[in-house]
Structures are given as structure tokens and as C-alpha cells.
Structure 1
């Protein structure tokens, strides 16, 4: 018994000694990429036209180069519902006539000996799950890569410092330049392989988390 208590204490201590890493601002994973300066050769031709940063009259200010900034309009709405119901029943009834020997009933204390067995099993299960999420807002991200087919890989984060802690939004993904509007914005549902993370740190976020002991009782390590 003492060894069992020591093993349980060791498991609980292990769960408590490995807390999740808290996110911090300026994570290198979400750091912007600054465009490298380009050396332009000055040709004394008497003109203000530049072949490096030229623009025609039909172009706009959409992001298309490494290090450019795009504003992502967060328009995420998800809803899921699931219902399940199961019923199971089984009933058995086995009986045998009184035992006989030499043409007479076998008795015990004057009562005939017989055998009877009955069992009944019933199971009913009903489950229902509903989940709905909504995220709306804006976040500006940097272009970190330009793929050979012209698609743009973007990433960025935004931190808000509040009275009870900090809240942050992080986003990574790939988008097509054609989906960027003339105002240099793109909807989040147009971003492929999107990873959107919205959470917080501080006392307000910690109050919504389970303690390590409660997490242990709700984990698969709890055998009961």
C-alpha cells in the first residue's frame, strides 16, 4: 500500500512539474521579415523615372513584395452539433422441471428440487454536444515568403495589454495575391493552411484553467 501511494505521488509531482510554456511577445516564430535594401544604379539621364520601383497608372498599393504588410479581416464563424442515442436490452429466463429419481420427485425438506435462473440487462445512453465559435477583428501581418507560383506566405501577431493580463492574436498561412482587395485587405477565410490563435495570459486566463490535480482526475491516467 505504501509503494502504491509513493507511485501516485510521483505521478502527481511529475504532472505538476511540467507546466505549459507561456506565450510571450516578440516570439521569433512570428517576427517580421524586413526587406533587404536594393542598390539602385543612378543613371544620369535627366529623368525621374526609376525602373526599380516603377508603378503604372492602373496599379494599386496591394502587398506583393517580401516584407510588405497585409491587413487580415478575421471573419471566423463555426458551429457544430451532434446527437447520439443508444438503447440496449437483454432478458434471459431459464427454468428446469423438478428433479426425479426412480419415477419420484427428489425433495429437500418436503419440497421438490427444481432449478430456475433469470437475468435482465438494460442499457440506455443519450449524448448531445453543441459547439459554436466566433472571431471577428483585424490583424496586420507581414509577407515572409513568396512561393514560386506567386502565393504569399504571411505571419504576424498582435498583443493587447489589459488590466487583468494580456491578450494576443497570432496568424500564419498562405494566400493568393488575387484575393487581396484594392485596399490591401484579405478575409481570413481566404487564407489556406491558416493557423489562428487567440488567447490570453495573466490572472484572468489562469482563472479559467483547471488545476493540476483536477486535470489528473479528468485525464486518462486516472483508472476509475
Structure 2
């Protein structure tokens, strides 16, 4: 078991032992597949001879043509600007006191007979007495601040039957022995794409944004495999 854990921990670092981490191959990525096989062709407006001398010919290749992503294989820019803060504070306080007493001065002479059997100073006048007190208090607070500004090029990997575009984008940046990865996927409406062929992250449905990395610094920041296993199985 020990050797298996050691081998498992080494597998994740074997890519960058003594060398920078390798880039992810792009040959088999969804973006490359969409560009190589763009799917069904779109209708192309036939260019007339008179249109060749005009700045506007109705085609995407013209000077004023609409170059926004619309078909599979097209590229658009995703703008991720997150600047959010959240603060929640709760406080509760609850108290309760209770007191109960029960006495039976006359019950067929039983209390009087009982008093004769009781030790000196004891009496059955107050047969039962109960007191209770309870209190509870709680305080909780949550403070969160996030700020992220990124731009990444994404590719239209599919066009759904209702015209919505499925996009996927990835970006990798390697500095010395640390590789930073940015991944984004989701669904966008063509109408939400700006004239600059850009779309903000808040207009992407089912958006999945990942910003992380791998390399020597990330390895040092992560707990060891054995520690993670113990954290998962130990009940205390």
C-alpha cells in the first residue's frame, strides 16, 4: 500500500521532474476538431461584379462585413472581469428558565404517615420540585472577495439546433517551471456577441471557468498524497 501511494504521488509530477511542465497537445483538442471539420456550410451571398468596387458587399470578407463568430470553427474573445464582494453576518441568542413544584398536603393521610418515616427535617409538603434553565448563542460571519481579469480566445465547437453556440477555449502560459492554465466553456447567443467579436462571462450560460496551473510551485503548495488520504479517512 505504501509503495502504491508513493508511485501514485510520483505519477502526477513525472511530467515536470527536472524540466518545465509540458504544454497540453492541441492536435486532438475540441477547438482543432471544430476548425478542421466546420460542419455544414452556411449560405454564401454571391458576389456581383458591381460589389467589387463597393465598401459594403454583404459578405463577411468586406470592409464593413459582420465578422462575429457564427459557425463552427469561428473564434471569439471571452472577457472575464470578476470583481465581487460578499459579507454575511448572523447572531442569535436564546434563553429560557422554568420552575415547577408539586405538593400534596392531604391524600388519605398518606403524607402524614410518610412524614413520620422520613428523616428529621424532611417533609412531604413539597413532594416534587423541578428547575430548569437553558441558553444558547451563536455567531457566524462570511467574508469573501474575488477579483479576476482575463481575456481568452474561444472557439465555436458546435451550433445547437436553436442557434446557440457552444464554445470552448484554453490558454497556457509557462514562466520558468510553472505553467498557468485558463479554461473556459459554455453556451452563448450570437446576439450577445459584440461588434468587436467579444462576449463577457456574465452572458455565457453554464459557464465553466478554471484558472490554475501545474509545476514546482503548485506541487509545494499541495498536501502530500498520504496526508490527503489521512484527512479523508480519519474521523477526528
With the length of structure 2 as denominator, give the TM-score of the two structures: 0.64
Partner of 1:147: 160
Q: Secondary structure at the match of 2:35?
A: coil
- How many residues align structurally? 201
Partner of 2:121: 111
Q: How far is the alpha carbon of 1:61 from its aligned partner?
A: 2.7
C-alpha distance after superposition, 1:39-86 (max 9, x if no partner): xxxxxxx99x8xxx8745531332223212111111223333322222
Q: Secondary structure at the match of 1:111?
A: coil
Q: Secondary structure at the match of 1:101?
A: helix
Comparing 62-71 with 210-219, which one deviates more in the overlay?
210-219
Evaluate the alpha carbon distance shift between residue 29 and residue 54 of structure 1 in structure 2; reply closer, same or farther with a 3 A threshold: closer
Partner of 1:41: none
Uncovered stretches (5+) of structure 2, i.e. residues with no partner: 13-22, 42-48, 53-58, 105-109
Uncovered stretches (5+) of structure 1, i.e. residues with no partner: 1-9, 39-45
Residue 193 of structure 2, aligned match among 159, 180, 184: 180
Partner of 2:35: 34
Say whether 1:162 aligns with 2:162: no
Task: Write the distance in 2 (CA, Å) between the matches of 1:118 and 1:74.
Answer: 62
Map 1:1-224 → 2, pairs under 5 A: 25-26=24-25, 31-32=31-32, 33-36=34-37, 55-56=61-62, 58-96=64-102, 100-102=111-113, 104=115, 107-108=118-119, 110-113=120-123, 116-163=129-176, 165-210=178-223, 223=235
Task: Write the distance in 1 (CA, Å) between the matches of 2:129 and 2:115.
Answer: 20
Evaluate the alpha carbon distance shift between residue 128 and residue 112 of structure 1 in structure 2; reply closer, same or farther with a 3 A threshold: same
Evaluate the alpha carbon distance shift between residue 17 and residue 81 of structure 1 in structure 2; reply closer, same or farther with a 3 A threshold: farther
Task: Write the distance in 2 (CA, Å) between the matches of 1:146 and 1:132.
Answer: 36
Task: Write the distance in 2 (CA, Å) between the matches of 1:101 and 1:17.
Answer: 84
8 Å contact 1:84–1:128 — kept in the other structure? yes
More strand by share: 1
With the length of structure 1 as denominator, give the TM-score of the two structures: 0.67
More helix by share: 2
Root-mean-square deviation (CA), in Å?
4.2
Task: Write the distance in 2 (CA, Å) between the matches of 1:92 and 1:176.
Answer: 64
